[in-house]
Structure 1
Amino acid sequence: MGNYLHALRRRRARQLAAQYAAPDRDQRVAVIGLGRFGRPLAVELTRRGWDVLGLDVAPHLVQRMGGVLTHAAVADCTDPQTLRQLGVTEFTSAVVGIGTDMEASILIASNLLEAGVPNIWAKAISRQHGQILERLGVHHVVLPEHEMGERVAHLVTGRMLDFIEFDDDYALVKTVAPDAVTGVPLGESRVRTRYGVTVVGIKRPGEGFTHATTETVIARRDVLIVTGKIHAVESFAELA
């Protein structure tokens, strides 16, 4: 289970990095906090070609990033002067990835906001912490442990092979095709009308994923990528 959770953390880091990596932005980002959340995020952003400045108060965490990040430094970012000296206040993007010190997280986020950094992401360790960050004005608040817990719960209790939740009660799910939709083209099975979900991809045993169309005929043991409201995709997955 530990390896699986570690894999989910890496996948979440890739997803978050993809959100930051819009091609029209200044591709510099400061990642403050190089622990279990910040380190894989910084590595993934670097892999995507971003210029990453990694910062942490713990020397051993900074040392672990040697040879991985071009720029890394031991720094106490609760001091606004430190942020100015390091040039973080001139960045267009910053991530506060501190996981255990709520006070430091709030102080650093406040410093970044006061400096006018236009895109700030911050990790929250609880819903209360997240609400405080949102009230401060942080642009993007992430609760990775909560999101991971919900995701694993869906995988453990249901027939889902993977589960990703988005805003507005919307989700994308990987699941085995239920018998109720097999043997006929998607256009005739009326999946969207009957179940409130949309089949966007299909994978047959031994083959790769392909886009699903109204002419696609689903067979038993096919793996589907399905989108829709959370309650709808949950109900659809339970048919399998």
Structure 2
Amino acid sequence: MQRKKIAVIGIGSFGKLFVRYLFEDGHEVIAIDKDITVIDSIKDYVTVAVALDATDEHALRSQGIGDVDYAVIALADDFETSIICADSLKKSGVKNIFARYQTELQKKVLELLGIQDLFNPEEKAAKSMAETLSFVGMRSSFLLSDEYSVVEVSVPKRYINLTIAEADLRHKYNINIITIKRPSVNKDAKRASDIKSEKILGIPQGNTVLREDDIVVLFGSQVDLSKFLET
């Protein structure tokens, strides 16, 4: 993985988790928020934490904002600031800008500013949960885009004891099995909670047999995944 320099502007509940994940993954993370208390709470989990007004173009430039690989506007409740910040980032030469939106109107306004990479974490989380509750056997769902998802599903009964080649999901449904999570027992575990765990099988081969307790991780379009889950 190539280390990136990423600025995250707006450190709310989403922003705090986001910068920590980025930092743990080895990226150079600049966390920006106007609230010094928020900055103090996150400073040990990022590369640089700075309190400044995101509408101040000169303040942003002073942090070398034009040199970042990505800038993420994660503000949730101050759309006016998001707009001004987005404009300042473009003027500062930031090429890759991601911006958070909450309504379709906000999305359209950001698009008019030339911001194409837009996200709504609440919408994605709600849709993932709805999918999880809607389909029997669904364990979790992760939206990669408006069209594609990765889902974890208990092996349907009709595929138990079949090989992946025999199940032939790729040709029947146009979806791919990324990996398989298989329950395992660690008899040497010291704690009872550690006795049962899951083993990741890696990239499965065509002769891998699907077992009753397996969890298959699938990738495909949401349309194709829905067809598979509904049958």
Segments of 5+ residues of structure 2 without an aligned counterpart are 185-197
Q: In the alignment, what sits opposite 1:183?
A: 161
1:139 to partner: Cα distance: 4.5
Q: Which residue of 2 aligns with 1:169?
A: 147
CA offsets 1:149-179 (integer angstroms, 9 cap, x no match): 1011111222310112223622211101112
What is aligned with 1:208?
199
Aligned partners of 2:171, 2:69: CA distance in 1, in Å? Answer: 44
User: Given the alignment, which residue of 202, 207, 223 partners 1:231?
Assistant: 223
CA distance in structure 2 between the partners assigned to 1:78 and 1:167 by the alignment? 29
- Is the Cα contact below 8 Å between 2:149 and 2:222 reproduced in 1? yes
TM-score of the aligned structures, taking structure 1 as reference length: 0.81
Alpha-carbon distance between aligned partners in 1 of 2:178 and 2:204, rounded to the nearest angstrom: 5
CA distance in 2 between counterparts of 1:52 and 1:228 reads 31
* Alpha-carbon distance change, 112 to 231 in structure 1, aligned in 2, over 3 angstroms: same
Post-superposition shift, 1:182? 2.0
Unaligned runs of 5+ in 1: 1-21
Distance in 2, Cα, partners of 1:81 & 1:121: 20
**Structure 2 Cα separation of the partners of residues 162 and 70 of structure 1:** 32
What is the identity, as a one-letter code, of the residue corresponding to 1:82?
A
CA distance in 1, matches of 2:105, 2:42: 31
How far, CA to CA, are the matches of 1:173 and 1:77 in structure 2? 37
**1:204 alignment partner, SS class:** strand
Question: Against the structure 1 CA distance between its residues 225 and 49, is the aligned structure 2 distance closer, same or farther, given a 3 Å change threshold?
Answer: closer
Residue matched to 2:39: 62
Distance 1:40 1:215, change over 3 A: same
1:100 to partner: Cα distance:
0.6
1:116 equivalent to 2:99? Answer no
Residue in 1 aligned with 2:213?
221
Match of 2:187 in 1: none
Give structure 1 regions of 4+ aligned residues with deviation exceeding 6 angstroms. Answer: none
- The CA deviation string for residues 131-161 of structure 1, in whole angstroms up to 9 with x for no partner, is 3222312242111111111011111222310
Task: Tell whether 2:48 aligns with 1:71.
Answer: yes
- Aligned residue among 176, 183, 190 for 1:198: 176
Q: Sort the Cα spacing of 1:64 and 1:222 in 2 relative to 1 into closer, same or farther, 3 A.
A: same
Name the CA distance, whole Å, in 2 between partners of 1:67 and 1:172.
32
SS at match of 2:172: helix
- What is the CA–CA distance in structure 1 between the aligned matches of 2:40 and 2:226, rounded to whole Å? 44
What's the Cα RMSD here?
Answer: 2.0
SS in 1 for 2:45: coil
Is residue 2:78 matched to residue 1:106? no
The alignment status of 1:49 with 2:21, answered yes or no, reads: no
Q: For 1:156 and 1:189, how far apart are their aligned partners in 2?
A: 25
Change (3 A) 1:92 1:195: closer
**Aligned position for 1:4:** none
Task: State the match for 2:117 in structure 1.
Answer: 140
Paired letter, 1:208: K
Distance 1:29 1:199, change over 3 A: closer
Shift of 1:41: 1.6
Aligned length: 216
